[in-house]
Amino acid sequence: MMKAGREAFVSGVVLAVASALAQPAAAQEPIKLGELNSYKAFASFLEPYRKGWELALEEVNAAGGALGRRIEIVSRDDNGNPGDAVRVAEELLTREKVSFIMGTFPSNVGLAVADFAKQRKVLFLASEPLTDKIVWDNGNRYTFRLNASTYMQTAMLVPDAARLKKKRWAIVYPNYEYGQSATRAFKELLKKAQPDVEFVAEQATPLGKIDAGAVVQALADAKPDAIFSSLFAGDLARFVREGNTRGLFKGREVFNLLAGWPEYLDPMKDEAPEGWYVTGYPWYGITTTEHRRFLEAYQMRWNDYPRAGSVVGYATVIAAAAAIRKAGSLDSEKLVEAMKGLKVDTPFGGIVFRALDHQSTMGSYVGRTGVKDAKGVMRSWKYADGAEYLPLDAEVRKLRPAE
Amino acid sequence: MSSIVIQLLNGLASASALFLVAAGLSLIFGVTRIVNFAHGSLYMLGIYCAYSLIGAFGVTAWSFWGGIVAAALAVGVFAALVEIALLRRIYRVPELFQLLATFALTLVVKDLALWFWGAEDLLGPRAPGLRGSVEILGSPFPEYDLVLIAIGPLLMGALWLLLNRTRWGTLVRAATQDRDMVAALGINQAWLFTAVFALGAALAALGGALEIPRQPAQLSLDIAAISDAFVVVVVGGMGSIPGAFLAALLIGEIKALCVAAGLSKLTLVVEFIVMAIVLVLRPQGLLGKPWETLRSAGSDVEALRPYGRASSAEAIVAVLILAALPLATTGYTLVLAIDIFVFALFAASLHFILGPGGMVSFGHAAYLGLGAYGAGLLLVKAGWPMEAALFAAPLAAAAGAALFGWFCVRLSGVYLAMLTLAFAQIAWSVAYQWDSVTGGSNGLVGVWPAGWLFSRTALYLLTLALCAGAIWLMRRALSAPFGYALRAGRDSPLRADAIGIDVRHVQWVAFTAAGAAAGLAGGLYAFSKGSISPDSTMAISRSVDALVMVLLGGVQTLSGPVIGAAAFTWLQDEIARNTDYWRACLGGTILAVVLLFPRGIAGALQARFGSKEDAA
């Protein structure tokens, strides 16, 4: 911290001198940042996300921007495809001359852009891709990730799962990286906490095409005591409805990653599941000052309530602005150094981008679902600080390749 | 035992909706010969319309069932308008071109749905009176699913009656057999086509609307539905309604049993495996009749002549100008140009078999992907130097193409196209599932070129040289005796055979060569992006992109695929950058091209400036 502070001070002085010497016109030129995301392919998460970052951008600029300059964001659709995303990132860097890039949603796009950032030696602030690999197995110097990862969100549910002492577990997950990692992490962590646990059924469903009736029946046939699911969006809604009709959830505890996100909970309306353990975002109940301020500003600006995506989008831009201020420069290497240990105030409270693995400590809310006024809500939730749900530093070092 | 029974019932319920969508597609294809790529969009519109219509009147039994029927009717009317305004204008153009129009339609419909219904998933109501479940062999089974199980056979019966016991049905069947004859007998074909298209669309929408209690309305349903529907139609036999029913049952049941047997990972691809097996063993589908050969893409095309000096010179000048481009800019233009070259080669390789070969491939991305993965794996896992890995890319793809092609060339027309799709999906699912080798859904990263290619200019020049060289080689092959033999096999397999051409062998060699060229494109693609994943290289959408490029440029010209690839890639890049609703804009632009230049861009240029030497 000392070192970072001194660097910030030194670069601050340099900046002061530089800006004194600079032409007034040049000082007016905005700082350009690049943002790319799969806006069309994953619209239900990313529309609120866009509203979130637009709000943050307005606030940042109203407060004077960074380095005495306005910040401008050039946003692009990456078509949900890693190949297109790399081209878009090239375009942002080469034609738009952005200082760094941020965004992305699916894991494969996030990883492709992260590797591109490493190759081009430019900062990449990965806002949403949940894959653990982006900071661990494939981690690199130039990539930082904001949202709580698959591993972290899974780890947040494990204490409750272990406390219940259920022996027979069934697992259902969307058959791609996120679901596979969540399943792997859950099995590993639960086994550690409760060695006698048995995993009696595992269903890997094609993403977006769950055959809900058959899957529910197969899970019921395995007679589990509890179920762990990482389904989301349409797959989740289908699973819940079939499961309710077929009585799968009667007398069984269910754990479901992300199911408390308004994006995925709200479409189920009064059929939202009762008593599931989930990670999510109970925007209606959080009373911290940071969140209340965010909520008011968001509702004022958009006349809509925030979703999890809104918070991620908002925090991304706040973090980006903080990094520029701390670096006092738009130089990639300085920005990377500034990102290490960067503290950011988000609607969820203060977070830190860990120097160790470039993962932020942004957490998530953990609680149980219920239905109130014909709408799905989270009850008896608490905030799980991301910092507490990461593996030991020594393990992380082993996972991450040397720079 | 009881759980197997329940799983079989689950399979029956899934099969019903699948059947309706597939039956509509089969009808439309049978009569109009349109490969209706927008069929999934009509299905999706059915769900969305039903959601809104039911919601508008409060959920009662009347509004529920009325809403479902009204949704089907509304989509039927919409489809009729589309047919009149759009498709009717392009029946006379070469086949498959309609595929381009319906592809553009999917883009427009998707953005329309996003604009009108928003991005959030919309979960519809349960069916009034059928909310609960009944006990079957000790397991609760949804009442609504029982209704679905009954609806499938009922509608099949109704369709059978319509087609076999009404005058209109007789006309439809006659048009399926020989539409020119029907026209000669004084039947107004235009209205017959409109009616069939509307009926097919209404069936798709009905299939969608009936899913309302089981499936939230979401924007990704169109793609999900279309591939399933094609598979069912082909497995059952194109144009056969009972075949579609049987195939829907087969696939619904097999999927349910995979889930029951703990083989859930297989559901990703099982329908394509079934399709591949059926097509290999029984090429006309389960209940399809051996089909009189489809008029191939090239049947109404002027003969290809060897290049004149003029067009060779033009090509050389074009390449030289492109080679000088880095003198003018080293910016993003080069990045975009690299993509364009890669896709130009990819599209040209598809055109090689599609145009002169008459073999339509819906799964050409498999060879792009095999090339990309071949190069990527050799570089990342085996530690080969980049140059050697790139050299291996076309070889890896050629090996795959030789294997798959051996089966594919035994078929023709849409069956061949669907078998290529099946193989491509199988290859895709292997790349998607085989985590330890291919990196699974994430794919491989760190696939960067060697140091001397780190400069953008060097990579650009290498890509230009290799793509231009490969395209030149393919053009050479087409004006060599081999090319003549290939076209002879396309235009008249019987006569070609009679003069001693081993048609299948020639087609197989062409298929393999096209695979190799696509593989080279794949290798270059991998090294220009630094990463590969199943979705960026092997997904259905990549294969469709290639088809769109070829058709956009014009099937009947050799420069068509190159122009089409350039236009499509550039348009997508340009439009996506400048508008939010870029898909609708792209779709609209393609529709405009379809209506203005029904022979593709290069075809239109050729008609305008009349250089006949370039006709394929």
Contact call for A234 and B213, based on CB within 8 A: no
Nearest CA in chain B to A140: B446
Contact call for A204 and B264, based on CB within 8 A: yes
CB atoms within 10 A of CB B186: 6
Contact call for A82 and B533, based on CB within 8 A: yes
Chain A environment of B216 (Cβ under 8 Å): 234, 237-238, 267
Residues B486/B510, Cβ–Cβ less than 8 Å: yes
Contact call for A95 and B13, based on CB within 8 A: no
Residue of A113, A176, A239 to mutate for B, most B C-beta atoms under 10 A = A176
Chain A environment of B132 (Cβ under 8 Å): 245
Contact call for A83 and B126, based on CB within 8 A: no
d(CA A216, CA A219): 5
From the list A91, A247, A271, which residue is nearest B332 (CB)?
A: A91
Distance from CA of A115 to the nearest CA of B (A): 6
- Whether the CB of B302 is below 8 Å from some CB of chain A: the reply is no
Nearest residue to B516 (alpha-carbon basis) of B548, B558, B559, B474: B474
- Whether the CB of A200 is below 8 Å from some CB of chain B: the reply is no
d(CA B233, CA B247): 7
Q: Which neighbouring-strand residues pair with B133? A: B142
Contact call for B256 and A214, based on CB within 8 A: yes
- Residue B401 CB-half CA count within 13 A: 33
Chain B environment of A231 (Cβ under 8 Å): none
CB atoms within 10 A of CB A379: 15
Residues A205/A262, Cβ–Cβ less than 8 Å: no
- Whether the CB of B459 is below 8 Å from some CB of chain A: the reply is no
- Weakly modelled stretches of chain A, pLDDT under 70: 1-27
CA distances from A289 to A292, A297, A310, A316 (A): 5, 12, 17, 19
Cβ neighbours for A331, distance < 8 A, ≥ 6 positions apart: none
Find the angle CA(B428)-CA(B430)-CA(B434) to the nearest 5 degrees.
Answer: 130
- Whether the CB of A209 is below 8 Å from some CB of chain B: the reply is yes
As to burial, measured by CB atoms within 10 angstroms (0-12 exposed, 13-18 middle, 19+ buried), residue B496 is: buried
Distance from CA of A373 to the nearest CA of B (A): 17
DSSP A340: T
CATH of A154-285+365-399, one of 3.40.50.2300, 3.40.50.1000, 3.40.50.2000, 3.40.50.300: 3.40.50.2300
Nearest CA in chain B to A92: B332
Structure tokens at B580: 């939010």
Residues B496/B296, Cβ–Cβ less than 8 Å: no
d(CA B388, CA A230): 41
Interface of B with A in 507-526 (CB under 8 A): 525
Domain ranges across chain A: 2-150+287-364, 154-285+365-399
Q: How far is CA B118 from the centre of its chain?
A: 26
Strands (DSSP E) found in B361-514: 444-447
- Whether the CB of A387 is below 8 Å from some CB of chain B: the reply is no
d(CA A324, CA A57): 13
Residue A363 identity: G
Interface of B with A in 157-196 (CB under 8 A): none
Cβ neighbours for B502, distance < 8 A, ≥ 6 positions apart: none
Chain B environment of A80 (Cβ under 8 Å): 535
Given CA atoms B506, B507, B508, B513 in this order, what sign does their dihedral have?
Answer: positive
Residues B205/B49, Cβ–Cβ less than 8 Å: yes
- Whether the CB of A132 is below 8 Å from some CB of chain B: the reply is no
From the list B218, B332, B533, which residue is nearest A94 (CB)?
A: B332
pTM of the model: 0.89
Residue-wise pLDDT tens digits, B445-472: 989 998 888 888 999 999 999 999 999 9
- Whether the CB of B55 is below 8 Å from some CB of chain A: the reply is no
Distance from CA of A133 to the nearest CA of B (A): 9
Chain A environment of B139 (Cβ under 8 Å): 217, 220, 246
Cβ neighbours for A272, distance < 8 A, ≥ 6 positions apart: A240, A265, A369, A370, A371, A375, A376, A377
Domain ranges across chain B: 15-221, 309-539
Interface of A with B in 153-182 (CB under 8 A): 175-177, 180
d(CA B165, CA B97): 33
Interface of B with A in 99-118 (CB under 8 A): 110-111, 114, 118
- Whether the CB of B440 is below 8 Å from some CB of chain A: the reply is yes
Give the pLDDT of residue B394: 96
- Whether the CB of A202 is below 8 Å from some CB of chain B: the reply is yes
Distance from CA of A16 to the nearest CA of B (A): 32
Task: Report mean pLDDT in 10-residue bins for chain B, 616 residues.
Answer: 87 91 90 87 96 90 94 97 89 76 92 90 90 88 93 93 92 83 86 93 95 91 88 88 93 91 86 92 85 46 60 87 88 92 96 91 94 95 92 96 94 87 93 89 90 88 96 91 92 91 95 97 94 90 90 84 92 84 88 83 74 45
Give the pLDDT of residue B302: 52
Contact call for A246 and B142, based on CB within 8 A: yes
Domains A2-150+287-364 and A154-285+365-399 share a fold: yes
From the list B121, B268, B440, which residue is nearest A237 (CB)?
A: B121
- Whether the CB of A141 is below 8 Å from some CB of chain B: the reply is no
Fold for the domain defined by A2-150+287-364:
Rossmann fold (3.40.50)
From the list A94, A202, A269, which residue is nearest B335 (CB)?
A: A94
Cβ neighbours for B408, distance < 8 A, ≥ 6 positions apart: B359, B361, B416, B419, B420, B423, B511
- ipTM for this model: 0.89
Tokens 């309706």 correspond to B20
- Whether the CB of A194 is below 8 Å from some CB of chain B: the reply is no
SS (H, E, C) B419-459: HHHHHHHHHHHHHHHCHHHHCHHHCEEEECCCHHHCCHHHH
Give the pLDDT of residue B543: 92
Give the pLDDT of residue A225: 96
List, as one string, the DSSP characters of B567-604: HHHHHHHHHHHH-SSHHHHHHHHHHHHHHH-TTHHHHH
